Amino acid sequence: MACRQIKPKKELVRLVRTRGGDIETDISGKKEGRGAYICPDPECLEKALTGKQLEHTLRCNLTRDNREQLVRNVEDLLKEIASA
């Protein structure tokens, strides 16, 4: 999304806005809600969070807490992938 590169879905991280308005990482790719895909790259995540692209795609306003939680979730996911 942020870097505009085309990659297979399996190589991307899906973020989803749930019906309750929470923003979560979707490892399975099957959670219900409005989704957006980003590269599993900290630079791509930072680019998505600093601009308005992610808010526009998910059709919501991200709070500072939302942004910090997303960064932690994606970083944890990247560590998990690297150790596998």
Domain of 17, CATH number, reads 3.30.1230.10
- The residues that bridge with 24 in the sheet, in sequence order, are 16
Which residues span the domain enclosing 62?
9-83
Buried-exposed string 8-17: b where 16+ CB fall within 10 A, e elsewhere: eeeebbbbbb
Which pLDDT value is given to residue 22? 84
How many domains does the chain divide into?
1
**Cα 71 versus chain centre, distance:** 8
Q: What is the mean pLDDT of each run of 10 residues along the chain (84 residues)?
A: 78 87 84 88 79 86 85 80 72
75 in any annotated domain? yes
Which pLDDT value is given to residue 2? 67
Which pLDDT value is given to residue 5? 79
pTM of the model: 0.76
Which pLDDT value is given to residue 84? 67
